[in-house]
Structure 1
Amino acid sequence: MTTLTDRPGTALLVIDVQNGVMAASHDTEAVIERIGGLVARAREAHVPVVWVQHSSEELPVGSEQWEYVPQLQRADGEALVAKEHGDSFEATDLEQVLAEAAVGRLVVTGAQTDACIRSTIHGAFTRGYDVVLVGDAHTTEDLSAYGAPAPGDVIAHTNLYWGFQSAPGRTAAVVPAADVAFAG
């Protein structure tokens, strides 16, 4: 139902599942395992897997912190989008990658829930994409020392409000990894 014409395809976005991002994240191993399962299912369904990789002072390009976790490996031919901002669309080639693949529906996973995930799902939705947030395949670190809620609460709240997101001609949903349907 996307507002993007002639773009019936789906893509799986794997956002910032990097060593430095995941080191202190909530439920890290289980989230990585679920993302790995989604990647395998997307590949089997011939659905594009798009890898998004953040760089910053804390994640310098080429450093161990910047590298994707070793449990997840990008296959030859899968897009890699380099970013420096929270929204994976800002100052990147993500829109071009998705347009070339005729993608109008995104299945979103990764980190961090309260930063790059939230920015990207909103960015995609305002650009006309249907957006499925995989409710048990995104995570964040504990920032409660800075006034944020506990990580589990951040994740639960994001899932709650995204499930009620609406706009003309687009859909938003929260689905557990086991229930994600890839339509190629």
Structure 2
Amino acid sequence: MASIRSGNKSVLLVVDVQVNVVKGAWEAPRVIGNVALSVKRARAQKVPIVWVQHADDDLVKDSPGWQWVPELIPAADERLLHKQFNSCFEHTPLDEELAKLGVTHIVLAGCATNWCIRATAYGALERGYDLTLIKDAHTTKTLELENGMKLEAATLVEDLNIAMTWLSYPGRKNTTVAAEAVEFYGEGGKRL
């Protein structure tokens, strides 16, 4: 059973908006713009931002494709974590960083919907965090399966948006919201 976290302090978690991750992704320019809008709003409201950057055999650390997209650059005072697994919680200090910040509510954006965003969303809920998925600030690529079947990116995005609206966990809240309507919370659960 998850430890339910008391309070309601937000963090914006920006996941894997890297050059080769978004290259060829569904509506990437629009989604990157919505992630950038979310970052701008979080910074204006002094909400902490945690950036998570993926590396593996196909996405080599420090390579040009591993870099953040030019529209999104972490500020010097914002936390940056590196990961090698889909969930931002696996083999990273994310949980510890969130505890230091007193975070109970994760606002989530980034790539790729069906891999790292899905795994991180479920990982957050399973660890007792409230979760808001920014429904127009995550994307992925269409999957072409060996049998010739295609899983369209737009469908994968909509599937996760629906799941995050209708899932039910005891003592936790989860929802989706558009980037322009995200509400962040500060100390004491006050809307910022």
Normalising by structure 2, what TM-score? 0.91
**Secondary structure in structure 2 of the residue aligned to 1:8:** coil
Distance 2:27 2:36 in 1: 14
1:168 aligns with 2:165: no
**Secondary structure in structure 2 of the residue aligned to 1:168:** coil
Distance 1:13 1:126 in 2: 16
Q: Report the equivalent of 1:127.
A: 127
Distance 2:50 2:15 in 1: 8
Q: Report the equivalent of 2:76.
A: 76
Q: Report the equivalent of 1:32.
A: 32
Cα distance, 1:83 vs structure 2: 0.2
- Give per-residue Cα distances to partners, 1:86-135, cap 9 Å, x unaligned: 01000001111111110010000000000000000000000000010111
Unaligned 5+ segments in structure 2 are: 187-192
Distance 1:99 1:64 in 2: 32
Structure 1 stretches of at least 4 aligned residues deviating more than 6 Å after TM superposition: none
**Secondary structure in structure 1 of the residue aligned to 2:107:** strand
The one-letter code matched in structure 2 to 1:167 is Y
Q: Report the equivalent of 1:86.
A: 86
Distance 1:140 1:32 in 2: 12
Q: Report the equivalent of 2:5.
A: 4
The one-letter code matched in structure 1 to 2:102 is A
Distance 2:40 2:171 in 1: 30
Q: Report the equivalent of 1:150.
A: 152
Q: Report the equivalent of 2:52.
A: 52
CA contact (8 A) 1:18 1:68 kept: yes
CA contact (8 A) 1:3 1:170 kept: yes
Q: Report the equivalent of 1:179.
A: 181
Total equivalences in the alignment: 182
Alignment identity in percent?
37
CA contact (8 A) 1:109 1:137 kept: yes
Distance 1:150 1:123 in 2: 24
- RMSD, matched Cα: 1.2
Cα distance, 1:144 vs structure 2: 2.9
The one-letter code matched in structure 2 to 1:9 is K
Cα distance, 1:8 vs structure 2: 3.0
Cα distance, 1:145 vs structure 2: 4.2
**Secondary structure in structure 1 of the residue aligned to 2:115:** helix
CA contact (8 A) 1:45 1:183 kept: no
**Secondary structure in structure 2 of the residue aligned to 1:157:** helix
**Secondary structure in structure 2 of the residue aligned to 1:40:** helix
Distance 2:92 2:154 in 1: 30
